[in-house]
Structure 1
Amino acid sequence: MYFIKSYLIATLTGSILSMPLMGATLNWPGLLGPERNGRVNHFKEPVIWPDKLQKVWSIQVGDGYGSPLVHDDQIYQHSRQSGHEVIRKIDFATGKEIWKNEHLVNFKMGNGGEGHGRGPKSCPSLADGRLFTFSITGELSAWDMDSGELLWRHDESQRFEKTTPYWGASMSPIVHGEKIMVRFGNDDEGMLLAFNVESGEPLWRLGDDGACYSSPITAKLAGIDQLIEWNHNALIGVDMTSGQMDWRFPLPHIGSNQNMPTPTFHNGAILVGGENRGIRQVLPTLEGSTWNVEEGWHQKRVALDMSTAVVHGNHLFGFSHFGLGQLFCMDTTSGDILWQGPSRTGENACLLAMKNHIGVLINDGRFWVIEASSKAFQKIRSYEVASGPTWAPPVLWADSLLIKDRNHLTRWSFIE
């Protein structure tokens, strides 16, 4: 029998004015931006990059790896303080807190992950007047963006005795139309669910695959809107209307090799890389009524551990954990490596693709600006943007850079 633990707050009806879903040019509504691909279309690159950045404000927000989100010049941040997971709405201009809400979330980190804190590890999502968070313990919550009021919450604790993978729930939920989707469960078993964003009503459920640390993307394949998800066992394509799995490419978590990076979609192909397993081009095709999926190429000289790669033009820019951390550029059609940056760069990097440059936030508080060139690695500037660890994805917005470090959220300006 299937059990649901779901809470619907009685004040939902009439408490929110429904807003249009986020536009690509005005907002940064979730992990890696409007299309979950790290592309930055609204940031004005300086003609000459300044020698240093100006700190506009910095506030203490607590632990966690969730990216700050931006909507109508307001920032939303999900974090952890004193055993509670906390959400905040912050004024972009001043850093002033507009509202805050919190709830107790008890969690014990698995051995080996203590240095990364107790979450949250997931990035929230904004859509239709709601802020959606996925806690370190695997609870999906919907909050009113204007007031911070809890609207509904869902977990799968009655179905799964253990509700998270070993190091906690890390998948960032994704919104498409009126649906929000996320996988619940643990390393051994799980279920992908879609909910109505307004009511929290489950719309469809899929499969038994265990959860992992990667986050899904959406793409149109053969005219079908698909959710592309890398779970504990495989890379799958799911029809978002019906919840039917269209295709499946086995790519399991093996031993200590985690499934962490978010896949990248480009020209009908999925580019996916895993720890010690290189990077693959996966090609799903629909022939008649049958889906086929095959591997186009497999580049083994670079591999993605926790870092997600970004596409610029026809090139993939990423951060390999080989060489103790090394940036690279590769051809998306052939899989050929075009250049590799210096080794021993760091443990992790978060990348953003601008019009002419790539922004690189390294986990030790450095932000690099490099040329988006396939010819050679060329670093334009290096900025010190934090004194502590920086694992949360950054945001480039207007003339500014938002950095979430271990305990603080800081706005830096590129205007000297």
Structure 2
Amino acid sequence: MIATRFISLALILLFAPLIYFTVSAQGMTYSNWFFVPASIVWMLLLSFWYLGFGKKTFKRRALNLGMGLVSIVIIALVLSRLLRYEGSTSGSSFPRFSWAWQSEENSVERLKPPHNDGGISPERLKGAVRNLNQIFGPERNGMWPEAEFNTDWAQHPPLEVWRRPVGAGWSSFSVSGKRSVTQEQIGDDETVTCLDLFTGETLWRHQNKDVRLLLTKTDTPMASMGGEGPRSTPTIHEGKVYSLGATGILNCLDLETGQEVWSRQVIEEFEGVNHDWGLANSPLILKDQGTVVVASSKNAGTNLIAFNLESGKTVWTYDGLGASYSSARIIEYFGIPQIICVNLKNVTGHNPSTGVALWTYNWPGNFPRVGQPNKIGDAGLLLTASYGMGSPLLKLSKKGRDWSVERAWNSTRLKTKFSSAAIIGGYAYGLDEGRLACIDLADGSIVWKGEKYGFGQQLLFGNHLLIQTEKGAIVIGQLTPKGFTETGRIDNALSSMTWNAPAVAGRFLLVRNNREAICYLLPEA
């Protein structure tokens, strides 16, 4: 009896470290949620052990357990009244709480004039501007052949041009001339905002009244986990702004005035279902076809839609198994440009003129796919994701009119949860569950793993990687197959959780989160 008593207790006590090491070995933060049910099971096992082997009478042991259970219920009820859930603390999805009596932050009250000391001459600013018409640059992959700025920030630090409060949202910036455009949530209104690039002053706002993701996405508690506000970045094309809101409103606006040219609802009009965390893909402009393309519903049905740039009329639709959070981009294979879409359950290549799928690669699972696909060599396509799905390298081939896709390998060593991979030669670099890592494109094996920057974003300029860390600091450094060497950082940039992608337009660096936006002038090359 004594041996049974102590052996059973030892096994129960060992249950906790066994679960901890098993979950931790997966290297995925979402797996940490298994600790919650595991802890409940562990406490139940301890309770049963106490009930069966405790030294006091059975009646007394049962009474003690009952009192403990009632106490836990009372504490939980009290905390539910005292605390208010406010989304995630980070990309790990751990909850953030505040006291219920604290007033909720009002984004309207925070919209004060930008801070700008006017210390940089307008002439100096004008010479530094380059257009950035869409998310992640001209190829929508976050990579530029070289930097137009000096990457040695330790010796030549960036200059702050302005900083200002902004409404909630995970949008980035697009830039045309002196106009920089983003999206934000102001009260209950989803807003497209145009700022003066040199001063940070508001030039215009276009508001969709009473449009707010957390007011409409009430069918799942996960919506609030991702925070408030629009996620997509507007695209600028020939004097127009094309913006996609979190609830599915696609606006075409005049760049000069913000006046609406046309508007569509890409979820409701096509009988779709919004994503758990709202629509996040950015509009893709197809100039030759005269269309703007967006991904839509998370459910099977109409998932990809092309609209006429001028009128907003539907040009074509594609019915698939469900869209995801990645933004479509054009990639050319064997001389044929095609729209590459990372979807909820597969990856597809489409004819830009008709939307017809040229090929499909099944990539099962219901977890979000956020990363941008990358062309590797002449026929390769690298996909990256987290949540245990792996990051496969695909090989495309074409015989006559028929396309085929095969998987070369699948790696779990580059798990990009919110960000994308950067490619230099035969290596891919990215934030592997928040930690900078490098894998060999020959087989997907790990080359090195470096510092943890959190679930932020990155841009590549030549062989220099600019990282917007999740905590708000901005880091730049040189990448090689041997490691990452920082050449500068801005520690006093943003001061709270940042999932927004940075935007670099020439020598202007624009960063923001759901509270604040900052514009820097980067040093001359």
Which of the residues 83, 86, 91 maps onto 2:191?
86
Taking the aligned partners of 2:373 and 2:151, their CA distance within structure 1 comes to 32
Does the aligned pair in 2 maintain the 1:166–1:187 contact within 8 Å? no
Does the aligned pair in 1 maintain the 2:375–2:381 contact within 8 Å? yes
Alignment of 1:383 with 2:493, yes or no, is no
Equivalent positions of 1:16-415 (< 5 A) are 26-40=130-144, 43-46=147-150, 48-50=152-154, 52-104=157-209, 105-108=211-214, 109=217, 110-158=220-268, 163-177=273-287, 178-254=290-366, 257-267=367-377, 268-275=379-386, 276-321=388-433, 325-342=434-451, 344-346=452-454, 348-384=455-491, 385-415=493-523
- Unmatched runs of 5 consecutive residues or more in structure 2: 1-128
Change in CA separation of 1:389 and 1:47 when aligned onto 2, cut-off 3 Å: closer
Taking the aligned partners of 1:399 and 1:226, their CA distance within structure 2 comes to 31
Does the aligned pair in 2 maintain the 1:90–1:97 contact within 8 Å? yes
1:20 corresponding residue in structure 2: none
Task: Please list the CA deviations of residues 148-183 of structure 1 after superposition, one character each: whole Å capped at 9, or x if unmatched.
Answer: 111111124555555311121112221121221112
Which is strand-richer, 1 or 2? 1
Taking the aligned partners of 1:145 and 1:95, their CA distance within structure 2 comes to 16
Taking the aligned partners of 1:71 and 1:266, their CA distance within structure 2 comes to 30
User: What's the CA shift for 1:69?
Assistant: 0.8
Q: Give the 3-state SS of the residue equivalent to 1:378 in structure 2.
A: strand
The one-letter code sitting in structure 1 at the alignment partner of 2:360 is R
Taking the aligned partners of 2:197 and 2:212, their CA distance within structure 1 comes to 31
Taking the aligned partners of 2:130 and 2:494, their CA distance within structure 1 comes to 27
Taking the aligned partners of 2:330 and 2:267, their CA distance within structure 1 comes to 27
Task: Please list the CA deviations of residues 126-147 of structure 1 after superposition, one character each: whole Å capped at 9, or x if unmatched.
Answer: 1122111111111211111111
Taking structure 1 as the reference length, what is the TM-score of the superposition?
Answer: 0.86
Does the aligned pair in 2 maintain the 1:50–1:415 contact within 8 Å? no
Taking the aligned partners of 2:151 and 2:457, their CA distance within structure 1 comes to 23
Taking the aligned partners of 2:180 and 2:146, their CA distance within structure 1 comes to 16
Taking structure 2 as the reference length, what is the TM-score of the superposition?
Answer: 0.69
Change in CA separation of 1:115 and 1:206 when aligned onto 2, cut-off 3 Å: closer
Across the aligned residues of Structure 1 and Structure 2, the Cα RMSD in angstroms comes to: 2.2
Does the aligned pair in 2 maintain the 1:315–1:374 contact within 8 Å? yes
Does the aligned pair in 1 maintain the 2:143–2:461 contact within 8 Å? yes
Change in CA separation of 1:161 and 1:239 when aligned onto 2, cut-off 3 Å: closer
Task: Please list the CA deviations of residues 55-85 of structure 1 after superposition, one character each: whole Å capped at 9, or x if unmatched.
Answer: 2101222111111111123211111111111
Give the paired residue count.
385
The one-letter code sitting in structure 2 at the alignment partner of 1:96 is E
Does the aligned pair in 1 maintain the 2:152–2:488 contact within 8 Å? no
User: What's the CA shift for 1:314?
Assistant: 3.7
Taking the aligned partners of 1:230 and 1:29, their CA distance within structure 2 comes to 22
User: What's the CA shift for 1:319?
Assistant: 0.7
1:8 corresponding residue in structure 2: none
Change in CA separation of 1:219 and 1:80 when aligned onto 2, cut-off 3 Å: same
Taking the aligned partners of 2:230 and 2:145, their CA distance within structure 1 comes to 28
- Unmatched runs of 5 consecutive residues or more in structure 1: 1-24
Taking the aligned partners of 2:144 and 2:512, their CA distance within structure 1 comes to 18
Taking the aligned partners of 1:42 and 1:84, their CA distance within structure 2 comes to 39
Change in CA separation of 1:356 and 1:310 when aligned onto 2, cut-off 3 Å: closer
2:33 corresponding residue in structure 1: none
Taking the aligned partners of 1:30 and 1:370, their CA distance within structure 2 comes to 24
Does the aligned pair in 1 maintain the 2:223–2:278 contact within 8 Å? no
Does the aligned pair in 1 maintain the 2:174–2:180 contact within 8 Å? yes
Of structures 1 and 2, the larger Rg is shown by 2
